[in-house]
Structures are given as structure tokens and as C-alpha cells.
Amino acid sequence: MQNIISGLNQAHEHVPGKKRKLIGDRGDFFLNRMQGETGVNISACYQCERCTNACPVSHFMDIKPHQAIRYVQLGWREDLLKSSTIWICLSCEMCTTYCPNEVDVAEIIHHLRNMAVHSSITPKEKSLAVFHQTFLEVLRKSGRINELRLMNAYYLKPDILHERIKNNILKEDLLLGMALLRKGRLKLFTPKFRAIKEIKKAYSQTRGEIV
Ligand code: SF4
Ligand code: SF4
């Protein structure tokens, strides 16, 4: 019980000035939708925080993994889609592995990320969001990732090149790329994956990840 109360209080620390809304106030619509679409029993979470303790990047997230699950239970969809959490998550699944109730936290965050891509909400971590989108585009086109093609496509996205020059990251990227090329870790060309048709079909069967 202490954990549940603590989880609720911590969740609210991230929403300054927001009045607590009980689950009943918002209805269970969002919770039911998420459970239906992911097949994850989100209601089973009792806020033990093991997922957050296991997460290697929770320190950088504005809504910690256990809080994200609580937000879903409360129906706080917009806060989740606006969060940095959905873009910072590495999909490493440590949270899922350590959950004693088999709540697939990684899948929930992944699902929220895809929801955010199709919402009109401006992503909090814009460059990460654009990278995510570019990665999926390249993967859909060739069925596998060629790092040079990926980075080229990424730089051509609006504002990305300018931002990387401004933040002095482009030079680091180039130096890293050259070092990897010298070590034979970067390939100039990668043939298309043979099962490209199946991959494109799988994409079209998703909820429209690619725009
Ligand atoms: S580890 Fe599982 S039960 Fe514990 S807070 Fe995270 S999702 Fe909830
Ligand atoms: S999948 Fe995401 S939320 Fe879960 S442990 Fe890894 S980085 Fe953290």
C-alpha cells in the first residue's frame, strides 16, 4: 500500500499544479484501450518500482517507467505522449524482465511511442523522434539497416543538420563514421533483405507506423 501511495504522489510531482484525478473521474477508457491493443495486463501493476530500478536510463526520463504505468491506469494519455520517456526508452526490456507481475512495460512504452508519432503532439525529444521515424522508413524500404543510408536520411530531415552543426555534434558524427569505416564496421552498400515484401506487408499491418 505504501508503494501505491508513493507511486501516486511521485506521479503527481511531474504535473505541477495538476489536481489529482481518480481513475473513476476519467473512466477506464484509455486503460482498456491500451490493454486491448497490447494484450498487457496493466491493472496488475502494484507500483513496486522494480521496473524503474532496473531501467538503465530512468534517470533521464521525466516520467519513470512505474509512473508511466500508473499514468496509463489513470488515463493520462496526453502527459504520456508529451513525455521524454517514450523517446528516451531503449527498448532493452529490463523493466519487463524484472516485473514480478509480468507487466510488459517495454511494450507499453513502445505502443505509446507509436501513438505519439500519429498524434499532433510535438515530441519533447524532437531529434530522437525524427531518428525513430527515419529508422523505420529506412527499414521499410530495404528490410535492413545500412548505417550510412540511415544517417544520410536522418540529416536530410528538416532542421536536423542545422541542429547538429549548431550543437557541434556533426563533427563528432563524422569522426566516428570515419573511424568505423577504417575498421570495416560501416558498409557503403547493403543489399536489400530478401524477404522485403514480407517486411512491407508487416508494416502495413501495423497501426500505420510509417507516414
Ligand atoms: S515492476 Fe511491474 S508491478 Fe512493479 S511497478 Fe513496474 S510494472 Fe508495476
Ligand atoms: S525498455 Fe525502456 S523503460 Fe524498460 S528498462 Fe529498457 S530503457 Fe527502461
pLDDT band at 66 (very low <50, low <70, confident <90, very high): very high
Give me the mean pLDDT over the 70-97 stretch.
94
**Domain segments of the chain: what residues?**
2-117, 126-205
pTM: 0.73
Q: Is 90 in the pocket of ligand 2 (CB under 6 A)?
A: yes
Give the tens place of pLDDT for each residue, 126-135.
888 888 889 8
Q: Are the beta carbons of 97 and 53 closer than 8 angstroms?
A: no
Q: Residue 25, Cα to own-chain centre: how many angstroms?
A: 28
Distances (CA, A) of 195 to 53, 118, 144, 207: 39, 27, 10, 21
Q: Which helix (H) or strand (E) holds 190?
A: none
Structure-block grid coordinates of residue 14: 511531474
Nearest to 193 by CA among 139, 133, 152, 134: 139
First to last CA, the chain: 43
Cell numbers at 18, concatenated: 495538476
Give yes or no for residue 105 CB within 6 A of ligand 2: yes
Q: Which atom of ligand 2 is nearest to the CA of 94?
A: 5
- Give residue 54's pLDDT band: very low, low, confident or very high (50, 70, 90): very high
Q: Which three cell numbers stand for residue 39?
A: 494484450
CATH dotted code for 2-117: 1.10.1060.10
User: Is residue 155 within 6 Å of ligand 1 at its C-beta?
Assistant: no
